[in-house]
Structure 1
């Protein structure tokens, strides 16, 4: 099978099957071999690795993964792509194609069944419309991960990597940075895809912590405080938290927490570091 990273080969296979792009699935197929090689190199894939690919499309990245990894499981939602995948991946005996919606797949049991519960690598050109739920699903469900290397919208990559006080900093930045260290590998322009997306993309590497540097008494409280802060990001932290439906703290309790930790009473959530959010969360856990 010819390599699909070459535009002509991609167009030929799409024409052969009369494939029609589905906007609802956010389908943009990579047609740049340099970008594909960057993804494989960034993920540091070896024959020891089990790789989960989300949204393989016509199998462009999958071909590269099959050549580098020990085993690949590719989860594709669009049933119209399955016959194409069966052809483009026919030369490889180390790949399994699953026709499912990744958000409905029990990834934990998939890892148990296919990889004996050992850590996996997730590598994907992610559909932009479900990027955040996919990434959070992997981390919040504590899937055993040794790495996540994904192509996502550049704007989302910037948000994941953002620091306190910047316009991109928000709940997603804090949530991902709690679980992993983010690193932007490459920015990818729209002309590397078919069809061309309207926005730029980026390959981001998320390296999960082996041992978390953070000690948190109550993870669900921590994330509720983070969500509350960015729900109304122009408000002070005190007002955001006391107005948030999912929390029941009064102003005095939150003020006490900030005072005890030496933080200004008028501070906004967007100015707080992850460590400060954790300190507030732990204080409230211990004192309320």
Structure 2
């Protein structure tokens, strides 16, 4: 487009034309910085053969930038008030299709199979803070045919996804994300490059999705129950946290397993690597079966 959608003047003119009011309930913040758009597109290495799913196109700011580099873009928008705006702002692009729907309720595997003939695709999103984790975990847990995911999230959430064992930010979210993908923070995004301005800074994080999980486990559900249990009482030792959780074995059995794995009894969950959690979960599985 000749008039870039990220220009505050262009954006305000469009919003005024359609009498659009931002919804606090939907956590709407629109990006007004073209450099960040470039970093997002660069971050997932878009080229003319790529096919992209975008979640939350807003008025089409990122959508248009993606479409200029990719072969095809399917954009999923929840807010029906934005549909006529997207019809307008994206009218010159022949490689964009907008779907109205809630990404948490849609079958993304079906959409990818139908629209992209089940080819591996890339996914981009500027997610509302309140729903970031459920959406990302759905994308990863449902083993959707994705090559990579690049999302704008709250800076603190990005740091938790990327965090290493022993750090303050490391927790169940770190392990869940790193079980399915390799996270990399692309850039930090200051709060003043959005309309309206959010209360905190954001970050663009890229998740390269593994073809199979980073660790092999005997029981995936048990693995995640162990991780959840380990962080449920963060100030307690791993033994106390797990014995208070629903992993199904008692304190003495947990101590015995830790001794067998050469893990100190007084360790906290935040010190364990994802590989150690996998060994721990498998040992609990063996003890129970």
Taking a change above 3 Å as real, the CA distance of residues 213 and 100 of structure 1, as seen in their structure-2 partners, is: closer
CA RMSD in angstroms, aligned pairs only: 1.1
**Partners of 1:138 and 1:11 in 2: CA distance:** 32
Query: Following superposition of structure 1 onto structure 2, how do residues 170-185 of structure 1 map, counting pairs within 5 Å?
Result: 170-185=171-186
Shifted more, 175-184 versus 246-255: the winner is: 246-255
DSSP 3-state at the match of 1:165: coil
Deviation, structure 1 residue 287: 2.9
Deviation, structure 1 residue 255: 1.2
Query: Following superposition of structure 1 onto structure 2, how do residues 18-29 of structure 1 map, counting pairs within 5 Å?
Result: 18-29=19-30
Query: Following superposition of structure 1 onto structure 2, how do residues 64-103 of structure 1 map, counting pairs within 5 Å?
Result: 64-103=65-104
What residue is the counterpart of 1:4 in the other structure? 5
Residues 1:169 and 2:170 are matched in the alignment: yes
**Partners of 2:10 and 2:264 in 1: CA distance:** 60
Structure 1 segments unaligned to the other structure (5+ residues): none
Deviation, structure 1 residue 137: 0.4
What residue is the counterpart of 1:31 in the other structure? 32
Residues 1:274 and 2:274 are matched in the alignment: yes
DSSP 3-state at the match of 1:23: coil
**Partners of 2:122 and 2:69 in 1: CA distance:** 12
What residue is the counterpart of 2:125 in the other structure? 124
**Partners of 1:108 and 1:227 in 2: CA distance:** 27
**Partners of 2:139 and 2:253 in 1: CA distance:** 33
Deviation, structure 1 residue 170: 0.6
Q: Deviations over 1:158-217 (max 9, x none)?
A: 111111121111110011011111111110101111111110011111111234442211
Residues 1:255 and 2:255 are matched in the alignment: yes
**Partners of 1:105 and 1:237 in 2: CA distance:** 38
Partners of 2:239 and 2:251 within 8 A in 1 = yes
**Partners of 1:264 and 1:75 in 2: CA distance:** 48
Deviation, structure 1 residue 50: 1.5
Partners of 1:123 and 1:150 within 8 A in 2 = yes
Q: Please give the TM-score of this superposition, normalised by the length of structure 2.
A: 0.97
DSSP 3-state at the match of 2:122: strand
Deviation, structure 1 residue 5: 1.5
**Partners of 2:46 and 2:218 in 1: CA distance:** 35
Partners of 1:183 and 1:205 within 8 A in 2 = yes
**Partners of 2:81 and 2:112 in 1: CA distance:** 26
Deviation, structure 1 residue 247: 2.4
**Partners of 1:260 and 1:124 in 2: CA distance:** 44
Count of residues paired in the alignment: 287
Q: Deviations over 1:1-21 (max 9, x none)?
A: 422011111111011101000
DSSP 3-state at the match of 2:48: coil
**Partners of 1:100 and 1:87 in 2: CA distance:** 19
Partners of 1:3 and 1:63 within 8 A in 2 = no
DSSP 3-state at the match of 1:96: strand
**Partners of 1:126 and 1:18 in 2: CA distance:** 23
Query: Following superposition of structure 1 onto structure 2, how do residues 84-233 of structure 1 map, counting pairs within 5 Å?
Result: 84-233=85-234
**Partners of 1:71 and 1:216 in 2: CA distance:** 36
Q: Please give the TM-score of this superposition, normalised by the length of structure 1.
A: 0.97
Structure 2 segments unaligned to the other structure (5+ residues): none
**Partners of 2:213 and 2:255 in 1: CA distance:** 28
